[in-house]
Amino acid sequence: MKSKVYSWNSANEMPSDALHIVITGASRGIGAAISRVLAQDHFVSLVGRDKEALETVATDLPAAHYRIVCCDITSRGSVQQLLTQLDRVDIFINNAGIAEFGDASTLPYESAERQIRTNMLGPIEIITALIGPMCERKEGMILSVNSVAATTVFSGTSAYSASKAGMLAYTRSMRQDVRSHGVKVVDVIVGATDTEIWSDSSRAEHSHRMLSAGHVAQVVKGIVDTYHDKHSMIEEIIIRPQLGDL
């Protein structure tokens, strides 16, 4: 790791091509699985609201390869504080997300607002701050973990689908804006995965046919491994359970 780029843990040996990867929603589920995989070869900033949960994830990581940054992505003040703590970011993994399911005729506006703030507006605020420096360096990656609900109609997911579809539209357009600057923008569109975003009853009934967080993490690792490829870009990958959507 180059000390002129990263001031933390610089005395510890890391691979010469180690990257600084910021992962939101790193405290559980897909984010935790991604963190465990990527921290083996890179330096990861684990971002989330729950410090204790982040510390639990960190017990599985090499001691010199991570740091914990608490942030509530729904709060602009908290996001701005996060941004002041970040040095050069090579890869931003937008993974934090919530889902509140319910019939559109009864779902409160506040629920839609929470989901759109968490799943779309918060990430966009972070990306807006990071994308300029990446373009100036002619190198960087924005990787967004999205949902098949962005493109597939399911009942009871109106606000969730809106937040995910909006994020997908944003990254698809941004990809065209920044590709000539050497920046990669990747969408990993994920089907039903056995994480806490599902109710206990749904997991009990369907976990045997869901993806695991580890499945998604391995796909993300494969994409991260293409970071230095100057000639090609993985734009979108869709991962569904073998038996399809629930």
Write out pLDDT tens, residues 158-175.
999 999 999 999 999 999
In a domain, 11, yes or no: no
Bridge partners of residue 43, in order along the sequence: 20
In a domain, 13, yes or no: no
In a domain, 222, yes or no: yes
In a domain, 4, yes or no: no
Phi then psi for residue 136, to 5 deg, are -65, -35
In a domain, 244, yes or no: no
For 112-129, what is each residue's pLDDT tens digit?
999 999 999 999 999 999
Phi then psi for residue 86, to 5 deg, are -100, 125
- Tokens read off for 149: 């609900």
Section 26-31 average pLDDT = 97
Evaluate whether 74 touches 95 at the Cβ level (below 8 Å): no
Which carries the bigger pLDDT value, residue 12 or residue 89?
89
In a domain, 66, yes or no: yes
Section 105-111 average pLDDT = 97
Alpha carbons within 13 A on the beta-carbon side of 4: 0
Section 217-230 average pLDDT = 98
Location of structure tokens 């991962």: 239
Average pLDDT, the chain: 93
Q: What is the pLDDT of residue 6?
A: 41
H helices within the chain, ranges in order?
29-38, 51-58, 76-84, 109-116, 122-137, 158-178, 200-206, 213-224
Tell me what percent of the residues of the chain surpass a pLDDT of 70.
Answer: 94
Of 201, 226, 199, 197, the closest CA to residue 213 belongs to: 197
Provide the domain limits for residue 219.
Answer: 20-239
Evaluate whether 6 touches 20 at the Cβ level (below 8 Å): yes
* Structural domain count of the chain: 1
In a domain, 2, yes or no: no
**Which of the residue ranges 3-12, 47-56, 125-134 would you say has the lowest mean pLDDT?**
3-12
Q: What is the pLDDT of residue 1?
A: 30
Please report, for the domain that includes residue 134, its CATH number.
3.40.50.720
Of 61, 79, 77, the closest CA to residue 69 belongs to: 79
pLDDT band at 8 (very low <50, low <70, confident <90, very high): very low
> Please, which residues have CB within 8 angstroms of residue 136's CB and are 6 or more apart in sequence?
none
Determine what percent of the chain falls in helix, strand and coil, rounding each to the nearest 5: 45, 15, 40
Asked whether the predicted pLDDT for residue 4 surpasses 60, the reply is: no
The active-site residue out of 66, 109, 160, 227 is: 160
In a domain, 212, yes or no: yes
Evaluate whether 87 touches 20 at the Cβ level (below 8 Å): yes
Q: What is the pLDDT of residue 14?
A: 67
Alpha carbon distance 26, 42 (integer Å): 15
For 180-208, what is each residue's pLDDT tens digit?
999 999 999 999 999 988 888 999 999 99
- Known active-site residue 160: yes
Evaluate whether 60 touches 36 at the Cβ level (below 8 Å): yes
Q: What is the pLDDT of residue 11?
A: 39
